[in-house]
Amino acid sequence: MEVIMVITQSLPAQVRLQYQQINSRVEDYSVIGALSLKTLPSIINFGLISGSVVLAPFICFFFRNKILTRINSQLDKHSKQRRTLIRVFVKGLTIQAFLPLVFYLPVFILYFICILTHSEILFQQYFMTVVPALPALVDPFVTLYFVTPYRRRLKIWMRIEKESKVMPVITSQIN
């Protein structure tokens, strides 16, 4: 009932007639939709989905600049080592913000090509459902590399670096 209502209420009569003609010769399955940028709802849908993929990293980059401006204004108060740690940490955050763009952009370019050419690219159809998980898969590795204590501990576990034994020294000053 809901599908019939969506098809009869949301699609223009010309598009419904086109689907009836396409489905008149089909036995195994029926065509219930197609990608097209000819109707306003399709354009809005495409703009929202693609826009969020492309614009989100640039919005994050804007906030990164605000964070860096604030940090740099107080950077003189920190030691040289602390400044290096802060810069590396912000670089890691920037990479994390751009991960979705890196993974989504190729698939969404293929999506746009499919819409314009009315062709099917199976890689795009199947990979589009996997892509949202890829930034979450790569993100912990970025964190492990750019957060210095995590990177040191990982190097120790992998036996790339030896654990340093630091002895606490207690000093007292007698007046």
Higher-scoring residue by pLDDT: 2, 79: 79
Over 60: is that where the pLDDT of 20 sits? yes
CA distances from 92 to 41, 71, 131 (A): 38, 15, 21
Which of residues 145 and 5 earns the better pLDDT score? 145
| The token pair that represents 170 in the structure block | 């207690």
